Chains A and B, each alone.
Chain A
């Protein structure tokens, strides 16, 4: 997965900041656009799933690479 429109680096931030920053970034985007979020908080894996479920935004992909978590969130 490499296609995205905007990127948010939430590395080093802890709960609930990655979610709050992602929400803010998505607010400024058009529907259908994809936000790539990078986080280091292990709790964010479950949290972004829950965020997608509750907000209707689509979590296209969630991966881990070298201690960093990558999320691709499509704005509803």
Chain B
């Protein structure tokens, strides 16, 4: 069968939003798609050598359930309804939320972001970083993994124009 093509624009740089591009890209590659991800703006965080800075923030996110990933069932089932204004005032709140999210991810047999990224690279998903935003945010090429090319909008369209599926995440 003809090889299908998928293009993704990854624009978000948080732990939770790192999942959709990497899950879809790795799965599409497993299905035989030729895949390209264009990382721009905060999406550049997903191609840094060091991914430990990826965090999840419950701030301004009323859709995020907050349950504890450990302890007895009655404790795990509590939904912690902490008002945003209080969350905003607690130092280190995002680090705690991130640690809890990582534990929840592990408990559910969900792959880590570094693992999913490696699976994408292994499956020859092509990574392109937006050079304009690299400059804009003061990054160096040495901040990013080696398996990446640097280009601009025109080269994104070169590939995207021929794709079957094109996603903006």
Instruction: Tell me the B6-32 residues at the A interface (CB within 8 Å).
Output: 23, 26-27, 30-32
Q: Report whether A13 and B30 are in contact in the complex, using a CB–CB cutoff of 8 Å.
A: no
Interface assignment of A20: CB less than 8 Å from any CB of chain B? yes
Q: Report whether A16 and B109 are in contact in the complex, using a CB–CB cutoff of 8 Å.
A: no
Task: Give the number of residues in B that approach A within 8 Å (Cβ atoms).
Answer: 13
Q: Report whether B108 and A14 are in contact in the complex, using a CB–CB cutoff of 8 Å.
A: yes
Interface assignment of B110: CB less than 8 Å from any CB of chain A? yes
Q: Which residue on chain A has the smallest CB distance to residue B108?
A: A14
Interface assignment of B119: CB less than 8 Å from any CB of chain A? yes
Task: Give the number of residues in A that approach B within 8 Å (Cβ atoms).
Answer: 15
Q: Report whether A13 and B31 are in contact in the complex, using a CB–CB cutoff of 8 Å.
A: no
Which residues of B sit under 8 angstroms from A16, Cβ to Cβ? 23, 26-27, 30, 111
Q: Report whether A54 and B32 are in contact in the complex, using a CB–CB cutoff of 8 Å.
A: yes
Residue from A15, A41, A55 in contact with B31 in the complex, judged by beta carbons closer than 8 Å? A55
Q: Report whether A13 and B109 are in contact in the complex, using a CB–CB cutoff of 8 Å.
A: yes
Q: How far is it, in angstroms, between the C-alpha of A23 and the C-alpha of B109 when the chains are bound?
A: 18
Interface assignment of A51: CB less than 8 Å from any CB of chain B? yes
Which residues of A sit under 8 angstroms from B119, Cβ to Cβ? 20
Q: How far is it, in angstroms, between the C-alpha of A41 and the C-alpha of B123 when the chains are bound?
A: 23
Closest chain-A Cβ to B164's Cβ sits at a distance in Å of 12
Instruction: Tell me the A1-49 residues at the B interface (CB within 8 Å).
Output: 12-17, 19-20, 23, 40-41
Report, nearest first, the 4 A-B pairs whose CB atoms are least far apart.
A23-B30, A16-B27, A14-B109, A12-B109
